[in-house]
Amino acid sequence: MTAQTPRDLSAFIAGLPKAELHVHHVGSASPRIVSTLAERHPGTVPSDPEELKDFFAFRDFAHFIEVYLTVVDLVRTPEDIELLTYEIAREMSTGQNVHYAELTCTPYTSVIRGIPIEAYTEALEEARRRAERDFGIVLRWIYDIPGESGIPAADATIGYALEHRTDALVGFGLGGPEIGVPRPQFKPHFDKARAAGLRSVPHAGETTGPETVWDAVRLLGAERIGHGTSSVQDPELLAHLAETGISLEVCPSSNIATRAVESLAVHPLRAFRDAGVKFSINSDDPPMFGTTLNREYEIAADLLELDKSGVVDLARAAVDASFAPDLVKVELIKEIAKHATL
């Protein structure tokens, strides 16, 4: 096999067709997008992209929350929702060669700020249609409960999902802080979502121990786990994940930034691979953590000592773990295979 330099592999990754399964709607707003929103709603943050780059430079988790809430407060109208969604799709497609993405959306935070769920839904759908037409990217939605807002948010979110569902809504999730937000309280909401055919994709085991992952699996019927980093602490859990094929959505840079993992040197990705646990590589809130999906693939390739063939396997694993329509999966696997011959 011909030796590959890091530059060779980076170029290969940049051109690799990909699926992104764990990426947040508001958390994907780049300084460019925030600048446009700030021009629409002046007075809250600077609209100059260079100033915003400094504001976005990650300092700590508290700063991440500050940036995130700043963007949330700039998304005030259905037109803002459509702009945000369409421009995220543009950047994923043209910058990362993402062909399919499941975007985690939190409609509750928009509805309580005055955007009716009907208008929210239509804005997402219009952006999705335009993005597929203009960029060829296929978008699907996961509606997640902001866990810190408790049962009222959960009741509202399952209502949005069931009463205003579109064909593009494929999953039901749970985000926000884990500490102080026990997973069992949301079992009735996930039961309703699953009964309606939505797939269960809660966050778990990011800032809490493996018991949170067990709760997500046993009580919420998780088919994929957002992060799941602490699963490595429980060999029985690793064996269960491997046996059942429940895939972890791994976001290395996010794990370091949020202190879920101390450093890349001790990241559990290798342990997941060695235990036979399925996983996909994702970017979470990429501009806010100073990363891209391409960069996350580079990190994973380094951690797992992968060559081009191994990176191709990562891309295939994401497609396999996705909730994409069968025809989309088949086409994307073909495109990945074609790139593998380059």
**Per-residue pLDDT in tens (0 to 9) along the chain, 342 residues:** 344 567 799 999 999 999 999 999 999 999 999 999 999 998 777 778 788 888 887 777 778 888 888 889 999 999 999 999 999 999 999 999 999 999 999 999 999 999 999 999 999 999 999 999 999 999 999 999 999 999 999 999 999 999 999 999 999 999 998 999 999 999 999 999 999 999 999 999 999 999 999 999 999 999 999 999 999 999 999 999 999 999 999 999 999 998 999 999 999 999 999 999 999 999 999 998 989 999 999 999 999 999 999 999 999 999 999 999 999 999 999 999 999 998
- The pair of structure tokens assigned to 222 is 């998780």
Pairing of the two strands 247-250 and 279-281: parallel
Is the pTM higher than 0.85?
A: yes
Cβ-based neighbours of 261, under 8 Å, separated by 6 or more: 229, 252, 255, 267, 268
What is the identity of the amino acid at 189?
Answer: H
In angstroms, the CA 322 to CA 342 distance is: 25
Pairing of the two strands 224-227 and 169-175: unpaired
- The pair of structure tokens assigned to 327 is 């025809």
10 Å CB burial of residue 176 (0-12, 13-18, 19+) is middle
In angstroms, the CA 319 to CA 309 distance is: 16
pLDDT at res. 5: 60
Q: Is-catalytic flag, 206?
A: yes
Please state which of the four CATH numbers 3.20.20.140, 3.60.20.10, 3.40.50.300, 3.40.50.280 is assigned to the domain occupying 6-340.
Answer: 3.20.20.140
Cβ-based neighbours of 324, under 8 Å, separated by 6 or more: 19, 100, 138, 140, 332
- The pair of structure tokens assigned to 267 is 């990241």
| Choice among 125, 206, 223, 298 that is catalytic | 206
Cβ-based neighbours of 45, under 8 Å, separated by 6 or more: 34, 38, 52, 55, 70, 74
The edge-to-edge listing of strands for the beta sheet with 224-227 is 18-24, 98-105, 138-146, 169-175, 199-204, 224-227, 247-250, 279-281
Domain boundaries, the chain: 6-340
Helix (H, G, I), strand (E, B) or coil at 105: strand
